[in-house]
Amino acid sequence: MATRYGFLSTHPPTFCGLASFNAALAAGLPDTGVVRVVEPGDTSPAGPEVTHTWATRAEGGWRAAADALNSFDVAIIQHEYGIYPGADGADVLRLMRRLSTPSIVVLHTVLSRPTPRQKSLLEQIVAVAGAAVTMTATAHERLLAGYSVDPAKVSIIPHGAAEHTAEPAARTARPHMLTWGLLGPGKGIEWAIRAMAHLGKLDPVYTVAGRTHPKVLERHGETYRAGLHQLAAQLGLAQSVRFEADYLDPATLSGLIRSADVVVLPYDSVEQVTSGVLIEAVAAGVPVVATAFPHAVELLSDGTGLVVPHQNPRALSVALRKVLSRPTPAAERPDGTVPRWPAVTARYEALAARLIAARTPVPVGAPA
């Protein structure tokens, strides 16, 4: 009898990296259902895989969400501090304590300098879970060194990547820089635009693809995007920076990635231990120039890309010039050395099987 997997996460049609990760992982497992976490006012219709919705403003909504997950053989919980109700998302711990089914918690963020409450909460979450997963060695080391957790519970299972078609991508006459993902302060797009001003005759075009993050949109509207438009105009780059604010389906996004000469990740964060955008760029074989956030430092150390200091447009321009001056033709780009989703989902299946087996009582008289 097939194992039934219950997922707790944001989930499409919600637009965020966590939702995309959850959808890709769930799609690779045989018998799944999703308890979808939604913000107030989100009335987007859910797909048939969603068996329950947890509205974050619903008082005590964690109880019904836990009960829904208990109908599955194993629960896979995506953890970020910002998506669950309660102080630092503490209601997810209440939910986990109510579970009777074994659980795997996937840690998308492991802070190097958590508040005492954040540290205590994550320690309790790992203690209650049957197993915890980090997606990078950096996150794994940070968790074991900075938090009181049982090392035997913690595994590294990398972020998966999609398979990219071998069909030729549309190319631009000018060098093409690309950043994609939800837009908002902290993405560092302004540093990439400022770097363009130092690239002179290379004259690249820069595509910034992605909607504004829903929480940013709710609180600040399109102020950040408008500021980027204004900066590009001030620097004489209005015709060179192209904003695509539409949601891109996987096929369209794959074509856009493969059309790029370089993917630019100029993030301000010094904490980011997992980046799905970085994984997809490397998997597509596109050179990457990134600021020194932890996942970039770890993944690009083999020469797949270049790492530069944060908030330094000069250093960013030097790295971009190095890549764009001698672009690698798409046909000659190596495949990225990151696992595809089928290999990743197989590792979750194996981990779930171990948890279920550990909870299954041995029948009386059966050999030990």
Which is it for the CA torsion 81, 67, 103, 159, positive or negative? negative
171 compared with 181, residue with greater pLDDT: 181
Say whether 176-332 and 5-160+340-359 share the same fold.
Answer: yes
Cα–Cα separations (whole angstroms), residue 196 to 28, 154, 175, 292: 40, 42, 11, 19
Closest CA to 180 of 115, 275, 73, 39: 275
**CATH 3.30.1340.30 applies to domain 5-160+340-359:** no
Examine the pLDDT at 368 and tell me if it is beyond 60.
Answer: no
Cα–Cα separations (whole angstroms), residue 99 to 6, 58, 64, 144: 12, 19, 11, 25
47 compared with 194, residue with greater pLDDT: 194
- Average pLDDT taken over every residue of the chain: 91
**Distance in angstroms (rounded) separating the CA atoms of residues 31 and 48:** 12
**Average pLDDT of the segment spanning 67-75:** 98
User: What pLDDT is recorded for position 40?
Assistant: 76
Query: Quick one: DSSP state of residue 186?
Result: T
179: part of which helix (H) or strand (E)? strand 176-180
306: part of which helix (H) or strand (E)? strand 305-308
pTM above 0.85, yes or no: yes
User: Which residue in this structure is represented by tokens 């790295």?
Assistant: 319
Band of pLDDT at residue 250, cut at 50, 70 and 90: confident
pLDDT in tens, 151-163: 999 999 999 998 8
User: What pLDDT is recorded for position 78?
Assistant: 98
**Average pLDDT of the segment spanning 76-99:** 96
Lowest mean per-residue pLDDT among 62-66, 120-124, 258-262? 258-262
**Distance in angstroms (rounded) separating the CA atoms of residues 288 and 270:** 17
C-alpha triplet 27, 89, 265: angle, nearest 5° = 60
Contact (Cβ atoms closer than 8 angstroms) between residue 13 and residue 38: no
Examine the pLDDT at 311 and tell me if it is beyond 70.
Answer: yes
Q: Name every residue whose Cβ is closer than 8 Å to that of residue 11 and which is 6 or more positions away in sequence.
A: 19, 22, 23, 26, 34, 36, 37, 46, 49, 50
Structural domain spans, the chain? 5-160+340-359, 176-332
**What's the topology of domain 176-332?**
Rossmann fold (3.40.50)
Residue 13 CB neighbours (<10 A): 13
**Whole-number CA gyration radius for the chain:** 22
